[in-house]
Amino acid sequence: MALELRRARPEDADLLFRWVNDPVVRENSFQTRTIEYQNHLRWFTSRLQSPDCEIFILCDTEVSPPEIGQVRFERNADGAFEIDYSVHSSQRGKGRGNELVRLGLEQMFLKLRQRIKFIGRVKSANVASQRVFLKNDFTLEQNDAFAQTYIRICDV
């Protein structure tokens, strides 16, 4: 496996638009409505320009197309980074979510080099994402019938 995690670029807008509207992604999202293209473009452009957001694309040069997933880290009002990720439909069930989150966390830790809190929120029915966070040393912080919140503190 030749994995590479790169920063998202403006030309990734269409790719991420297709992924965000994948039926499984919409089903596992807290906002399940289909995303309109113009709204996506505005949102994506603002995130690329924001100092409080990092979006990475995971690529595997041994598959075609090489882009297999995205992970976003967005700083919230408390200074913690909330994580959002998705995996291309052809790559699900292969441990790609785990790789994506692990490599993303490594990049963020190298960039920040300070004590930082990461938060993952998933629907209670999304068992695959729950496993991803647990495999990446997150702790279940909150659990209810609708959602679960996972926390990881990274120290220098």
For residues 9-36, average pLDDT: 92
Q: Is the pLDDT of residue 56 over 90?
A: yes
**Angle, helices 37-49/13-20, rounded to nearest 10 degrees:** 120
- Residue 100: other Cβ atoms inside 10 A: 26
- State residue 1's pLDDT score: 63
pLDDT in tens, 69-84: 999 999 999 999 999 9
Predicted structure pTM score: 0.92
- State residue 133's pLDDT score: 96
- Give me the CATH topology for the region 3-154: Aminopeptidase (3.40.630)
**Beta-bridge partner residues of 4:** 59
Mapping DSSP to helix (H, G, I), strand (E, B) and coil, where does residue 140 land?
A: strand
pLDDT in tens, 92-131: 888 899 999 999 999 998 888 888 999 999 999 999 999 9
- State residue 95's pLDDT score: 87
Q: How many angstroms separate the CA atoms of 31 and 51, rounded?
A: 24
